[in-house]
Structure 1
Amino acid sequence: MTSTTGGARPPRADARRNRDRILQVAEQHFSEHGVTGSLDQIAKSAGIGPGTLYRHFPNRAALLAALLAEREDHLTRELDDIAATSTDAATSLQRWLTALVEWASAFDGLPDPLRDAVSEEASPLALTCQGYITTTDTFLAAAQREGSARSDVRARDLFLATLAIAWVGKAAMADESSRPGINALIRTGWATL
């Protein structure tokens, strides 16, 4: 039956509960096992069948996109704080890149599907990545106008660099100084001398 208002019907209450439960269980499962954790195990732990999981999230990328959307409030607060407290464009850019590293470090293995999504327009994560590349470009352009960032640096490359930093933080050889060290090296690549 179609709606008389022409809009889509809201999801049923049980469907909303199932979706919320899947996200809750997936958050915990990916936190414990990384993004390659079993989707069937997530469904089982959520008390649903795999078909129900796949109706809500047709693939791993769709599930990750939904989980990352739940984390966008933190980045929005960081954007507001950067706007309110940063004194120069280079500091703003560096703070934004640091926030992206934290976001991309949410789950072990997350940088890989994000990296893939940058070049796969069909991925549910592609829109998320493109939005953050656009925000990065806004900060980068301001730093370039200010003269504190090199003119040949691209926002896409900085976004990919944040994924590399997030990956390094989880690498077996990494220690507590690895992430800040790589971050400092990358900053010397975009900052003017």
Structure 2
Amino acid sequence: MPTQPSIRPPRADALRNRNHILEVAGLAFADEGVDVSMDSIAKRAGVGPGTLYRHFPTRDALLAALMEVHYAYLDQARMAIQADEPDPGIALDRWIEALGTWMNAYEGLPEPLRAAWSQPSSVLRPTCQSLVDASAVFLEAAQRNGDARPSLTGRDIFLAALAIAWAGANTGGAIDTRQALQEVLRTGWALPVSAQDGLHEK
């Protein structure tokens, strides 16, 4: 049987270049939003465009790599909520809030996330799907406890949170707008108290 060619690990200087580009890109996105040009990022990083595109062929690829760091923080929040919040309805509410914070990590981020959800080949799509799956875990626990409407899915929760993040970003990032819309979403997913009482009596 022929042996498979070994995969050569990236050179140390290539890894340094990649990490440096990521650090600079994170600062650029934080300063100017996700619409900052790739050429501007290359100039900030002090590398040629070819070096930038060799590591990150598209802006979405660069954004996906940056969001891995933010996803790690969101995953920590997920585990903390699951560990210390015994009420499934409150846990779902806290997860939606954490999700919204993640979706607003950079100005303009909700738009590429929205586009990624409609494009299965997007490099950001797997991250979106993992958040749908996590949302489903919280939602289903709330449904089993009689706190959430049984017709909803994790996809519904993810897309609703994304809509709120997008709306908040397009109204100047006003905190009160996001809070008002989160309250609307909470009213939407929560079962009316009368329905909860009926379920608990069964």
TM-score range, shorter chain: over 0.9
Residues in 1 aligned to 2:4 and 2:173: alpha-carbon distance in whole angstroms: 56
Aligned match of 2:57 = 58
Deviation (angstroms), 1:119: 2.0
Deviation (angstroms), 1:179: 0.8
Aligned match of 1:9 = 8
Aligned match of 2:140 = 141
1:1-193 aligned within 5 A: 6-172=5-171, 175-193=174-192
Deviation (angstroms), 1:111: 0.4
Deviation (angstroms), 1:175: 3.2
Query: Contact conserved, 2:171 with 2:177, CA < 8 A, in 1?
Result: no
Residues in 1 aligned to 2:74 and 2:173: alpha-carbon distance in whole angstroms: 25
Residues in 2 aligned to 1:174 and 1:36: alpha-carbon distance in whole angstroms: 16
Deviation (angstroms), 1:79: 1.5
What amino acid is aligned across from residue 7 of structure 2 in structure 1?
Answer: A
1:53-79 Cα offsets, whole Å, 9 max, x none, are 111111111111100001122112212
Residues in 2 aligned to 1:171 and 1:35: alpha-carbon distance in whole angstroms: 14
Question: Could you say what the CA RMSD is over the residues aligned between the two structures, in angstroms?
Answer: 1.5
Residues in 1 aligned to 2:145 and 2:82: alpha-carbon distance in whole angstroms: 16
What amino acid is aligned across from residue 42 of structure 2 in structure 1?
Answer: A
Matched residues, percent identical? 48
What amino acid is aligned across from residue 147 of structure 1 in structure 2?
Answer: G
Deviation (angstroms), 1:120: 1.0
What amino acid is aligned across from residue 185 of structure 2 in structure 1?
Answer: I
Residues in 2 aligned to 1:52 and 1:118: alpha-carbon distance in whole angstroms: 29
Deviation (angstroms), 1:33: 1.0
Specify whether residues 175 and 119 from structure 1 end up closer, same or farther in structure 2 by C-alpha distance, changes over 3 A only: closer
What amino acid is aligned across from residue 164 of structure 1 in structure 2?
Answer: A
What amino acid is aligned across from residue 63 of structure 2 in structure 1?
Answer: L
Query: Which ranges in structure 2 are unaligned for 5 or more consecutive residues?
Result: 193-202
How many residue pairs match? The answer is 190
**Secondary structure in 1 aligned to 2:175?**
coil
1:58-102 Cα offsets, whole Å, 9 max, x none, are 111111110000112211221221122112111111111111100
Residues in 2 aligned to 1:174 and 1:23: alpha-carbon distance in whole angstroms: 25
Residues in 1 aligned to 2:106 and 2:161: alpha-carbon distance in whole angstroms: 14
Query: Contact conserved, 2:26 with 2:66, CA < 8 A, in 1?
Result: yes
Deviation (angstroms), 1:38: 0.7
What amino acid is aligned across from residue 84 of structure 2 in structure 1?
Answer: T
What amino acid is aligned across from residue 167 of structure 2 in structure 1?
Answer: V
1:139-170 Cα offsets, whole Å, 9 max, x none, are 11111111111011121121111112222332
TM-score by length of 1: 0.93
Deviation (angstroms), 1:7: 4.2
What amino acid is aligned across from residue 129 of structure 1 in structure 2?
Answer: C
